Amino acid sequence: MNDKLKPLREKIDAIDAQILDLLNQRARVAQDVGHVKAETGAPVFRPEREAQVLRGVAERNPGPMGNAELQTIWREIMSACRSLEKRVTVAFLGPAGTYSEQAVYQQFGTAVDVLPCSSIDEVFRATEAGTAEFGVVPVENSTEGAIGRTLDLLLHTPLTISGEVSIAVRHSLLTGSGNMEGVTAICAHAQALAQCQIWLNNNYPDIERRAVSSNAEAARMARDDHAIAAIAGERAGVRYSLGTVKANIQDDPHNRTRFAVIGSLHAGPSGEDRTSLALAAPHKAGSIYRLLGSLAQHGVSMTRFESRPARTGTWEYYFYVDVEGHVQNEAVAKALAELQSNAAFFKVLGSYPVSLT
Active site residues: 257, 259
C-alpha distances in Å from residue 66, one per residue of 22, 75, 109, 168, 252: 21, 14, 18, 18, 22
Q: Which is nearer to a copy of itself, 170 or 334 (CB)?
A: 170
What is the C-alpha separation between 289 and 297, in angstroms, rounded?
12
CB-CB contact of 131 with 111 (8 Å): no
- Supply the minimum distance, in Å, between the C-beta of residue 154 and a copy of itself: 22
What is the C-alpha separation between 85 and 27, in angstroms, rounded?
9
Q: Which is nearer to a copy of itself, 19 or 337 (CB)?
A: 19
Q: Map residue 60 onto helix, strand or coil.
A: helix
Q: Which is nearer to a copy of itself, 47 or 336 (CB)?
A: 47
Q: Which is nearer to a copy of itself, 176 or 276 (CB)?
A: 176
Strands 185-188 and 208-211: parallel
Amino acid at position 19, single letter: I
Q: Whose CA is closest to 349, among 325, 320, 328?
A: 320
Q: Which is nearer to a copy of itself, 95 or 145 (CB)?
A: 95
- Supply the minimum distance, in Å, between the C-beta of residue 139 and a copy of itself: 20
CB-CB contact of 107 with 50 (8 Å): no
- Supply the minimum distance, in Å, between the C-beta of residue 32 and a copy of itself: 5
Give the DSSP per-residue string, 219-268: HHHHHH-TTEEEEE-HHHHHHTTPEEEES---SSTT-EEEEEEEESPPP-
- Supply the minimum distance, in Å, between the C-beta of residue 192 and a copy of itself: 17
- Supply the minimum distance, in Å, between the C-beta of residue 242 and a copy of itself: 7
